[in-house]
Amino acid sequence: MRFVDEFRDPAVITRTCEEIRRLTDPSRHYRFMEVCGGHTHAIYRFGLRDVLPAGIELIHGPGCPVCVLPMGRIDDGLALARDPRVIFAAFGDMMRVPGAHGSPLEHKAGGRDVRIVYSPTDALKLARSNPDRHVMFFAIGFETTAPSTALTLVRAKAEGIRNFSVFCNHVTIIPAIRAILDSPDMRLDAFIGPGHVSTVIGCRPYEWVARDERKPIVISGFEPLDLLQSTVMLLRQLRAGEAKVENQYARVVPWEGNRAALAAMAEVFQLRPYFEWRGLGFISQSALRIRDEYAAWDAERVFDIPGVRVTDPKAAQCGEVLKGVLKPVQCKLFGRECTPERPVGALMVSSEGSCAAYYNYEHRKAAAALAAPA
Amino acid sequence: MCLAIPGKIVDVAPDMPHLALVEVAGVRRRVDLGLLQDSLPGPGDWVLIHVGFAMSRISEEEAEAQMQTLRMLGEDAAALEEIRGYGAGE
Amino acid sequence: MAHGAGGKATRRLVDGLFAPLLLGGAAGGLGDAAALDVDGTPLAITTDAFVVTPLAFPGGSIGELAVNGTVNDLAVAGADAVALVASFVLEAGLPSDVLDAEVRAMARAARAAGVPIVGGDTKVVEHGKTDRMYITTSGIGRRISGVTVDPRSVRPGDRILLSGPIGDHGITILLARGELDLEAELRSDTRSVLPLVQAIIKVAGSGIRWMRDPTRGGVATALNELALDCGLGVHLSEDAVPVREEVRGACELLGLDPLHIANEGQFLAVVAPDCADAALGALRAAPGGEGAALVGEIRAEPAAAVLVATAYGGTRIVDMLVGDPLPRIC
């Protein structure tokens, strides 16, 4: 596969790891946070922790849009699926996320019309071909995905499709990074920045991280060589005492972002004054809602949404794991009450959630650690 | 938040210029080019695909430059080793 | 119920419910077939239900799956299928030409496999009570002498053989459902693997420790079952596992792992190290076995786990599937 295989070249990976070792100060412990859940998944999938020196610790950040969604929002969306007129459409990522009354997949098994879509345009297509039903698309994602939802709504409005609505749970990345840096228990040296969000927002929005917080941040791609090269760039900045924004993913990320994507978002969405993030609490100006001009396609206005607030079980430590304060294996429920088959929190369901990644790729080592005498 | 894959545009519908047929390793899907409308890519161009939309055009020059930089990493290191080797012989 | 997808939930159902109540507790090392000794004749018996949607897809249909699936379950238990019986549950209102097509497909598949279908049953249920058609086939076969498949005989140093590229069937079905709007030149790999199994038995015979056909849940699930049954470490070399370009492309696009995708015409074998190369050679020389590969080996550690290694030394543990493989966008 072009633009993929080159960045998985074993010989080049091995040499890049040698360079990383050369740049690593053996007396120092480095803490790099990868913000984006996609990077978390890539790190585990490619086994990168095996090839990085022990002194480099990768902390998993909150950039997993499924993980940060409070359970109440899932319940709200599923409440709508109980209406036999409604087709509940969502990405596969949402299907196993537990609501208070079951996951979307469990609702489907119980006879509700729940469908997996690959694209919001596929949900719109469902609306076109099912004129006597109403298709409600449960939208999630950061700025990578929001423009696609926006354009889909623009198309729905232009075509006058009235049996379609969006339940909008899009969130923005910068407030999440701010919450991490504001958190008193965090000690980070640098950031591996989200590559695909940046194809939309560009690299400018991160400048305050380098300038004000004095932390290096490298916007990274998702292949092994991308992540390893980003690690090289971060180590070089730290050695030189620098803190700046660098774009490692230049083959895809434009420094100024994608104007048309930002314009589509601005046309359809506005910022909510505040939004509740699982584990991070209420953050102001951190999530998107649909503008009045598109009210007829806003599920929260078309339907009576219960507005349920559901707190996580006390024992679940999703918040601390999300913030990178705790490793998944340190959560009391990990691997016991909370497993991929019976997840308590979204971090165990989402393939990007640190708990799922840890469990799926590492759990036997973790289980051995748990079983070892204290 | 970020599963996006490089694909090559193989066809654009003449009556729907924002909809392209994109191919990834022999798998084809219609992809919406609406987010790249400022500078619409065409057949033969490579784009990054996420949830059925093209997010960005992939720059072959930048990709090649990156691989060059990475390959040189190893060569610089090898050159350094060689020089150290000369010193060690004395 | 996620219990049919072939992964963890299915295993819990078998180990926790069926085995204790129906089999007097005997569940380990069963594989997909049961060994029977009838008046000194070593036999194997198996049954399987087929519930695929859509009924027909590129490369095959439910009828062919129903025949090949059961022949294969017997083959990987080291048995030559002797006869099959089939039972049909049909939805009232199923068009007769659909039924006709499937019966013909079964007849063709049975002829190709060299196994007669000697009996059957049909039931019709109310419209809406079933997904058009379910077929259950049961098969009986003669266990081939000199072959004992038993996970407990697996040892560190044994090698893992795979008969051909993985993921063709599952991705074909996913695309055939039409919900994801993807197109590819892919066909189900459904076929009888009996000739290929016979080919390796000829050269490796008693050196074969274990065999399995990686159907629902894919290679990952089959190897995890092995790991749990033998308690050893199952090590795969990622680059050695054959995957077609289109399967790879679909998996990358949808965020799926080829190791979790169903196959209907492949099998895995664990063989003693001294006959691994001969077994591979025999497979590759046999018609349909050209894509065979040695994909890994057994080690003592990590216990009861499946580990995949990349060419540059990265490793990850591959778990059993939980439910069906779901596409993701994150």
Please state, in angstroms and rounded to a whole number, the distance separating the CA atoms of residues A192 and A218.
5
Q: Is A37 close to B59, i.e. CB distance below 8 A?
A: no
> Does B50 share its domain with B11?
yes
> Does B69 share its domain with B30?
no
Please state, in angstroms and rounded to a whole number, the distance separating the CA atoms of residues C139 and C147.
19
Q: What CATH number does residue B24 fall under? A: 2.30.30.140
Task: Name all domains of chain A by residue range, CATH numbers in brackets.
Answer: 1-312 (3.40.50.11740), 318-371 (no CATH)
> Does B48 share its domain with B66?
no
Find chain B residues with C-beta within 8 A of A37's C-beta. Answer: 1-2
Locus of tokens 């990987």: C76
Please state, in angstroms and rounded to a whole number, the distance separating the CA atoms of residues A113 and C163.
39
The amino acid at residue A123 is A
Please state, in angstroms and rounded to a whole number, the distance separating the CA atoms of residues C317 and C297.
15
Helical packing angle, B60-88 and A224-239, nearest 10°: 60
A228 touches A16 (CB < 8 A): yes
Q: What is the pLDDT of residues B15-70, one digit of tens each?
A: 888 999 999 999 999 999 999 999 999 999 999 999 999 999 999 999 999 999 99
Reported as type and span, the H/E element at residue A58 is strand A56-63
pLDDT above 90: residue A70 = no
pLDDT above 60: residue A373 = no
Please state, in angstroms and rounded to a whole number, the distance separating the CA atoms of residues A349 and C207.
41
> Does B30 share its domain with B69?
no
A216 touches A234 (CB < 8 A): yes
Q: List, as ranges, residues 5-24 from B with C-beta within 8 Å of C.
A: 5, 24
pLDDT above 50: residue B89 = no
Number of domains in chain B: 2
* Higher local confidence (pLDDT), B13 or A205: A205
- Whether the CB of B70 is below 8 Å from some CB of chain C: the reply is no
* Higher local confidence (pLDDT), B13 or A181: A181
pLDDT for the residue numbered C330? 85
Please state, in angstroms and rounded to a whole number, the distance separating the CA atoms of residues A46 and A168.
32
Reported as type and span, the H/E element at residue C124 is strand C117-125
The amino acid at residue A301 is R
pLDDT for the residue numbered B13? 85
A173 touches A35 (CB < 8 A): yes
Please state, in angstroms and rounded to a whole number, the distance separating the CA atoms of residues A122 and C53.
20
Q: What is the pLDDT of residues C291-325, one digit of tens each?
A: 999 999 999 999 999 999 999 999 999 988 777 88
Q: Is A45 close to C326, i.e. CB distance below 8 A?
A: no
Quote the domain boundaries for residue B53. Answer: 1-58
Please state, in angstroms and rounded to a whole number, the distance separating the CA atoms of residues C146 and A338.
46
Please state, in angstroms and rounded to a whole number, the distance separating the CA atoms of residues C31 and C8.
15
At C21, is the pLDDT very low, low, confident or very high (cuts 50, 70, 90)?
Answer: confident
> Does B15 share its domain with B50?
yes
pLDDT for the residue numbered A163? 98
Please state, in angstroms and rounded to a whole number, the distance separating the CA atoms of residues A311 and A175.
22
Test mutation, A144, A223, A341, A358, chain C, max C CBs within 10 A: A341
CA dihedral sign, ordered A103, A106, A110, A112: positive
Q: What is the pLDDT of residues C198-212, one digit of tens each?
A: 999 999 999 999 999
> Does B18 share its domain with B48?
yes
Which residue of chain B comes nearest to A119, CA vs CA? B51
- Whether the CB of B51 is below 8 Å from some CB of chain A: the reply is yes
Q: What is the pLDDT of residues A11-57, one digit of tens each?
A: 999 999 999 999 999 999 999 999 999 999 999 999 999 999 999 99
* Higher local confidence (pLDDT), C159 or B75: C159
Q: Is A4 close to C252, i.e. CB distance below 8 A?
A: yes
pLDDT above 70: residue A364 = no
Q: What is the pLDDT of residues A136-146, one digit of tens each?
A: 999 999 999 99
* Distances from the Cα of C125 to the Cα of B60, C61, C132, angstroms: 59, 21, 10
> Does B17 share its domain with B43?
yes
At A101, is the pLDDT very low, low, confident or very high (cuts 50, 70, 90)?
Answer: confident
C260 half-sphere exposure, CB direction, 13 A CA radius? 20
> Does B9 share its domain with B34?
yes
**Tally of residues, chain C:** 330
Reported ipTM: the value is 0.93
CA dihedral sign, ordered A271, A275, A278, A282: positive
pLDDT for the residue numbered C15? 73
- Whether the CB of B71 is below 8 Å from some CB of chain C: the reply is no
Test mutation, A49, A114, A360, A365, chain C, max C CBs within 10 A: A360
Locus of tokens 């709200």: A76
Torsion on CA atoms B39, B41, B46, B52, rounded to nearest 10: 90
pLDDT for the residue numbered C10? 72
* Dihedrals phi, psi of A261, to nearest 5 degrees: -65, -45
A170 touches A138 (CB < 8 A): no
pLDDT for the residue numbered C30? 45
Angle at Cα A170 formed by Cα A169 and Cα A173, nearest 5°? 135
> Does B43 share its domain with B80?
no
pLDDT above 90: residue C13 = no
Which chains sit next to B, with 3 or more Cβ pairs under 8 A? A, C
Q: Is C328 close to A117, i.e. CB distance below 8 A?
A: no
> Does B46 share its domain with B82?
no
pLDDT for the residue numbered A360? 73
Locus of tokens 């989402």: A350
> Does B50 share its domain with B13?
yes
Please state, in angstroms and rounded to a whole number, the distance separating the CA atoms of residues C174 and C169.
9
Q: Strand order in A164-170's β-sheet?
A: A114-116, A86-90, A134-141, A164-170
Burial class from Cβ neighbours inside 10 Å (0-12, 13-18, 19+) for residue A182 reads exposed
Q: What is the pLDDT of residues C92-112, one digit of tens each?
A: 999 989 999 999 999 999 999
Nearest-CB residue to A341 (from C181, C315, C322)? C322
> Does B2 share its domain with B18?
yes
Task: Name all domains of chain C by residue range, CATH numbers in brackets.
Answer: 36-143 (3.30.1330.10), 151-317 (3.90.650.10)
pLDDT above 60: residue C26 = no
* Dihedrals phi, psi of A315, to nearest 5 degrees: -70, -25
The amino acid at residue C292 is A
